[in-house]
Chain A
Amino acid sequence: MIVIGAGHAGIEAALASARLGSRTAVFTVNLDWIGNMPCNPAIGGSSKGHLVREIDALGGEMAKAADATAIQCRMLNLGKGAAVHSPRAQIDRRAYADEMKFRLEAQPGLSLRQAEIVSLEPGARGGWVAVSGTGMRYAAACVVLATGTFLRGRIHIGALQYAGGPDGMPPANALSDSLRALGVPLRRFKTGTPPRVHRRSVDLTKTTPQEGDERAVCFSFAATQPPRQRSLCYQTYTTAETKRIITENLDRSPLFGGQIEGVGPRYCPSIEDKIVRFPEKERHPLFLEPCGERTQEMYLQGLSSSLPEEVQMAFLHSIPGLEQCEVMRPAYAIEYDCVDPLALGGSLEFRELPGLFGAGQFNGSSGYEEAAAQGLMAGINAAHGAQGKPAVVLPRESSYIGTLIDDLVTKGCSEPYRMMTSRSEFRLLLRHDTADARLTPLGHALGLADAARLAALRRKEALIDEELLRAARVTLSPCEALNAALEAAGTAGITSGVRLAELLRRPQVSYAVLEGFDPTRPALEPEIFTQAETRLKYEGYIKRQEAAAREFKRLEDVRLPGNINYAEITSLRMEAREKLTKARPETLGQASRISGVNPADVSVLLIHLNSRFTHRLRRG
């Protein structure tokens, strides 16, 4: 097995493949930057935190390394409902890269090699041959492409542009040509990163400090000690002067000047984008995030830009706290080659190029977490492919990982794809704290999560069930103090005995509110109470989503034959024929999610299947 790239996708792919017993080699242009974070020094966030916990539940690495190197942890979206609570951590990025390199080195069966792969050739007896820049040839059954933003990378800072990878590293130009020659459909995407400034030059008294949570939640379900909470982030705002400077210099941005052909993400706009698109907004928030404990560099979240460096300096100096700031690295935009993910199957293997897999930004996604999630699945499937085992495709209702990959390979993406909770129709089932219950049994069956993990999960589930039974049994009697506590929480007091479970169903009531009125409460991990409470509050809705998931699965279970010729189904609209031919969905459910395929087309497909392929139809 060969993995090209040792970023977040490459790491997970290599570790999974080696752990599943395939001899694996990882190639990277610079061994000192394994698992580099060229953008924000943070892991997690809304829905991304879910992805990290799911990676952990399956037996991946990102959560453990993040817990080991976190310097501040927060749970986002508290107050917006348990389904969307998302852990996020500031990470010491140098420590993280060290941690990951150490973990890769410690993995038996895994070789690390500093080399640029310049071409890929089909092997004489199947499989693939990767050729390095120094002329070495490496043969493998399967190859995972995890090239991030390196492929034909091009940096833009104002009118200045040059070939380059992230963080001052070299681009990978030759591999791009080789892939194109193989028929891989490449295209240009763009992303960007803000400036870094020196902490001592910032007047932090003009900003609002942000602390981590008092009781931090780890990403890993196997974590035994809480992460460190030493660092602060700081918030400030752009000003009218910032807006004026940027507006006056817009013509010097390559984004507006037309030099950048790549498609950038709408959801992660540069500051000049934000000012153009939201002219009514007087100010935009920005956050100063520490890049680590042994560095003074601070990352300016919200200020990515591709304006010339002197303009960057000018607008930075218009921001409270940054008037005297020293820029250590300027902001830049980067353009890179990536694949149209419609060329991939649900296993992330190229449909037309067996043995070749894609993962991470190469597949058109953005974000470390999205990359790691795909890397893990590509690694599992490449190992399975090499060993003749069936592919593992996670269904949408099982996880954000499954949703992410299904979206990519079914709907494709016209801009870098970012995970969001709103992308999951089953998000009440996909809570971050249930990732282990959803995925650890599979991780264990695959051989990635050990028996101790499974045993811990079973123990946790038993404790939750026991607590739910207790809550259904125990009655709280009315008393003045309890009613005062209930009213303080914003809900009515009680006049007769009420079951604990009933009280906890009220949106305003938590275990914390009832502290002291519930004498039989056992001493358990806070997580057990959180989950019991969520299950009680959301019981009806969880049941409904479970029913919806079963309904959804029925279309999902109708498999579409691989050899179906859509061009011949003349009752399909022309657009649908084209889209289906391109995306080649594996199930009727996938077909129904392709944009440009409407319900009428799905009906036509179903009728077509029933009339001609009834005997081949595999159900359930």
Chain B
Amino acid sequence: MSDTIAAIATPNAPGGIGIVRVSGGEAVAVARRVFSPKRPLDWEHLPGYHMCSGWVCAPGAAPAQRIDEAICLFYRSPKSYTGEDVLELSCHGGQMVLRLVLEAVLAAGARLAQPGEFTKRAYLNGKIDLTEAEAVMQLVQAQSAAAARAAAAALGGALSTKIEAIRTGLTALAANLAASVDYPEEETQTLSPQETGAALSEAQTQLEALLSQCGASAAMHEGVDTVLLGKPNVGKSTLMNRLAGFERTIVTEHAGTTRDTVTERVLLGKALLRLTDTAGIRETQHPVERLGVERSRAAAESAALLLLLLDASQALTQEDHALLDSCDPARTVVLLNKTDIGSCQDTAALRTRFAWVLPISAARGEGMQALTQAVETLLETDALSPEEAMLSTARQKECAGLAAAALREAVRVFHEGFAADILQLLLEEAIQPLYQLTGERATEAVVEELFTQFCVGK
């Protein structure tokens, strides 16, 4: 288990510096084979948090065949990220250099780390709990400042603390029931039915509140599928480019120029959109264009958010009406584009069906603030406070969901008049996944599942 692993820890992109990380019992031995310090080093008695400069070579290679000049940072177990001996070789950032350094380290006896293996070891060595491990992953993958703040809060234990509070309340309740069953003759201070009912409802409310934020939390952490709809030449690509910040799709005056779907990640406030620009949806005989049209319809059906563009400078056409009819008002924002050219729409009529009808000018960038507001409200990310506890991964959501389901049943069973034995059992069923949520009683399957989601080097 404690074999020595290595990986490039910095992103797979050119940069100023790049780091190769090595962790395990043989980390020092590996370093001795590939790293020649500029000043003599007492390898046998290296202190923790030690830093020195030198050169990296392949093991056994002549000094002239140096790969790179590097800083070697040494962390002594258990005071390191993984809890094991850790070395970080800070090299120059070229991809080829880093690959050569990694090859040298592997040739010196390390093996390539699996995705997430460093963090997995940190978890296995008790350096972090499961929610904190997940937070590391999300911090690494954060695509917005808000998502990064939320991940940092989770890393600080915001979610663990919240879950622990709920769990403590439930455990107390279960213990109370146990006392009355196991000490029937003692006059234990049993809770009244009202108190029991209230405590159950309170825990359930707190869990449901966490769960109800899951959609918004996912919108913040992972992003939501969003589709730009509208008849050809209504300005979809212009809006896409405006939101994405650079020219992505070909924009011409001719209707039907965009023939394929193009996806772009766009941040609106705290909401991350995976925005797909569709080929102008219209009935067409052109074979290439028809293929694009079908793909657009499929995307629109599965999307969580629809941005429907109408041309404000023209009256609504048959096509516009067909599009409006096909959109689910609960997940649609209607955008009246080209307000800089003219406005001849009956917005009042549209507003009776759609909650969000906004005049914009994609070309001039007008109305973007209102659009952001509308999207945040619709996805409920406006109510999110990144510093508060939230469920951010599918695993956390599943655990909380299981606990909430058990609690819902406990509340039902309690009101139906079922006896203490069932109630106690359901409480335990609710408590168990809450332990699993923070990894305190996780099965190895959960751990494996969790860590395969990590990127290499973390």
Q: Which chain A residues have a beta carbon within 8 Å of chain B's beta carbons?
A: 46-47, 76-77, 79-84, 267, 284-285, 287, 301-302, 420-422, 425, 427-428, 490, 506-508, 538, 541, 545, 555, 569-571, 573, 598-600, 602-604, 606-608, 611
Contacts and interface: CB of A to CB of B under 8 A. Distances in A.
Given A599-B442, A602-B444, A287 B185 contact: yes
Contacts of A608: 1
B399 to A, nearest CB: 14
Contacts of A287: 185
A604 B1 contact: yes
A76 B178 CA distance: 14
Given A600-B123, A600-B125, A600-B126, A47 B182 contact: yes
A427 B421 contact: yes
Given A555-B443, A611-B1, 9 more contacts: A46-B183, A302-B186, A425-B428, A428-B425, A507-B419, A545-B425, A600-B447, A604-B1, A607-B444
Given A421-B181, A425-B428, A571-B125, A599 B1 contact: no
A600 B119 CA distance: 12
Interface in B418-458: 418-422, 424-425, 428, 439-444, 447
B417 interface: yes
Contact of B425 (A47, A541, A606, A611): A541
Contacts of B447: 599-600, 603
Contacts of B181: 46, 77, 80, 84, 421-422
A46 B182 contact: yes
Contacts of B140: none
27 contacts: A46-B181, A46-B184, A80-B181, A80-B184, A80-B419, A80-B421, A81-B421, A82-B419, A82-B421, A84-B421, A284-B187, A285-B187, A301-B185, A421-B182, A425-B428, A428-B421, A490-B417, A508-B417, A571-B1, A573-B126, A598-B440, A599-B439, A599-B440, A600-B124, A600-B126, A607-B444, A611-B1
Contacts of A81: 418-422
B176 to A, nearest CB: 11
B285 interface: no
> A-B pairs with the 6 shortest C-beta distances?
A81-B421, A81-B419, A422-B178, A83-B421, A420-B182, A80-B420
Contacts of B421: 80-84, 421, 427-428
B186 A285 contact: yes
A292 to B, nearest CB: 20
B276 to A, nearest CB: 40
A494 to B, nearest CB: 16
A342 to B, nearest CB: 21
A490 B415 CA distance: 12
B180 interface: yes
Contacts of A77: 181, 184
Given A571-B124, A573-B126, A84 B420 contact: yes
A77 B425 CA distance: 16
B352 interface: no
B44 interface: no
Contact of B417 (A507, A538, A604): A507
B448 to A, nearest CB: 8
Interface string B179-211: 011111111000000000000000000000000
A514 to B, nearest CB: 17
B65 interface: no
Contacts of B186: 285, 302
B443 A599 contact: yes
Interface residues of B, number: 34
A427 B441 CA distance: 20
Nearest to B129: A600
Contacts of B440: 598-599
Nearest to B436: A599
Contacts of B346: none
A84 B422 CA distance: 10
Contacts of A79: 419
A602 B441 CA distance: 10
Contacts of A82: 419, 421
A301 B124 CA distance: 49
B329 interface: no
Nearest to B25: A570
B425 A598 contact: no
Nearest to A588: B444
Contacts of B123: 600
A538 B182 contact: no
B126 A507 contact: no
B2 interface: yes
B416 interface: yes
A425 B428 CA distance: 9
Contacts of A570: 2, 25
Interface in B117-158: 121, 123-126
B331 to A, nearest CB: 36
B444 A538 contact: no
Contacts of A571: 1-2, 121, 124-125
A607 B422 contact: no
B71 to A, nearest CB: 28
A541 B422 contact: yes
Contacts of B422: 81, 83, 428, 538, 541
A116 B124 CA distance: 52
B147 to A, nearest CB: 27
A49 to B, nearest CB: 11
Interface string B239-267: 00000000000000000000000000000
Contacts of B2: 570-571
A591 B214 CA distance: 35
Contacts of B420: 80-81, 84
A570 B4 CA distance: 13
A611 B3 CA distance: 12
Contacts of B441: 599
B205 to A, nearest CB: 24
A180 to B, nearest CB: 35
Contacts of A490: 417
A604 B124 contact: yes
B296 to A, nearest CB: 45
B131 to A, nearest CB: 14
Contact of A285 (B25, B124, B185, B425): B185
Contact of A507 (B180, B418, B425, B442): B418
A608 B3 CA distance: 11
Contacts of A284: 187
Contacts of A555: 443
Nearest to A419: B182
Nearest to B429: A544
A63 to B, nearest CB: 21
A208 B410 CA distance: 36
Contacts of B183: 46, 267
B413 to A, nearest CB: 8
Nearest to A428: B425
Interface string B388-432: 000000000000000000000000000011111110110010000
Contacts of A76: 184-185
Contacts of A606: 444
Most chain-A CB neighbours within 10 Å: which of B121, B123, B124? B124
A163 to B, nearest CB: 33
Interface in B363-390: none
Nearest to B416: A507
A531 to B, nearest CB: 15
A538 to B, nearest CB: 7
Contacts of A83: 421-422, 425
A118 B184 CA distance: 42
Nearest to B426: A541
Nearest to B174: A422
A79 B349 CA distance: 62
A598 B442 CA distance: 9
A416 to B, nearest CB: 15
Nearest to B441: A599
Nearest to A491: B417
Contacts of B425: 83, 427-428, 541, 545
